[in-house]
Structure 1
């Protein structure tokens, strides 16, 4: 646990002298989203993963205090400061990608490269906002009951056997991210018109069966980020390919990182 910007942030660090890679997880998940990458990269690459506000072992703010993904980008930059890391490859999945884009906009000289999975630069779509708002309201009222969390786990992980572990984690959690973290997600701003400012090399991946985030939102990143290639489709994956399909994700990630060495 680190104290960053006067708040606790939980992180995991493989350590080592290799180039640093900082990755942020998706909503309702935590730093373990990248466990398969940690096993693959160490010790060649130093991987730092962290729990965003309201997730995993990082507490959320008081319900009366709102924050944005810009604030969470400052959390991530503060974590790099805490670790004495001046420059890193930065990335994330879903909301971790929202944060990574803002890190690159806030501190471009500190970002050696960008890795993005199943994410977008645009605000929350009105249809998505209504659906997520309804789900959050139901979770607040009924808690992590099977009728709610089993479909949610399937949306995130597909038919992976890891769904049971994720549901168990939600049931055991002292609280789900349904306060300021939910407001942060639903009310995020639009940075799509600033993507041309992010000039570092960028790797894009997207789960072929992701119903949470349509392919066209990743294609927009490919079109507007000056040094992004085409979107790599992870076959059979839904919203969390890092966890469910590392056999496809890891070679792409390793090859990209080696081009930056």
Structure 2
């Protein structure tokens, strides 16, 4: 099993290998490396695709997690690149994967060739959403993945008609209360890096589902306006995990962007 012992963590990762440009995919909250299977399948013949499980998720999660920030996760990503002998990569992140990718671009700019930000944002969570999230997480921690909790999480992340919802619910049942609490604390208390976006000069592609109920479209437009070299692609009909539910238009936008680098 590929493990990188770096930065005080044991990071699980998968690497297609090859000599093409390197793309590192970073997943969203409650997800893992497997969420980028449609992108890896489409790109692996021309690009070296790396996916990994972030702190508190998948095969990187530990029983007694320590508090962390997305700057710590950005350092994890940088250390993973060092572990693999990669000097520079394209960082593609979905939601919280975008949070840590932005922070990696701010703290390790020399390692970032370009950014792809999928259904992500530079700001903090909307204050009016926090109480509902806290209630959902509290119920999840106390009672496990009930039908209502599972359906609510699936609706937020995957959308109404996603065909592989049950496979993701099976993964969510494996989350421990300690990791649920720790991951949500990191999400809810992150800082706002909107005003620092002009510091990021690498090319950026912002992909956002027009029906994303987790992060409003306005947040994507704000990133596109603030980043010096950014383009925005809206995915019609897509929700939060547009790269999964609407992989074809996402892959088309991604490949067009990569071809111009």
Compute the TM-score of the two structures, normalised by the length of structure 2: 0.95
Query: Deviation digits for residues 61-120 of structure 1, max 9, x if unmatched?
Result: 735x31100000000000000000000001201000000000000111111100001111
Distance 1:115 1:218 in 2: 12
Query: For residues 51-130 of structure 1, what are the structure 2 equivalents within 5 Å?
Result: 51-60=53-62, 62-63=64-65, 65-130=66-131
Q: Which residue of 2 aligns with 1:31?
A: 33
Contact kept? 1:60, 1:181, Cα under 8 Å:
no
* Residues 257 and 211 (structure 1), Cα distance of their counterparts in 2 relative to 1, 3 Å cut: same
Contact kept? 1:10, 1:57, Cα under 8 Å:
yes
Query: For residues 118-157 of structure 1, what are the structure 2 equivalents within 5 Å?
Result: 118-157=119-158
Query: Deviation digits for residues 113-155 of structure 1, max 9, x if unmatched?
Result: 0000111111222112222111111101110111111121122
**Counterpart of 1:115 in 2: which secondary structure?**
strand
Moved >6 Å (runs of 4+): none
Gaps of 5+ in 1: none
Contact kept? 2:13, 2:51, Cα under 8 Å:
yes
Distance 1:147 1:40 in 2: 34
Distance 2:63 2:107 in 1: 22
Compute the TM-score of the two structures, normalised by the length of structure 1: 0.95
* Residues 239 and 54 (structure 1), Cα distance of their counterparts in 2 relative to 1, 3 Å cut: same
What is the aligned-residue RMSD (CA, Å)? 1.3
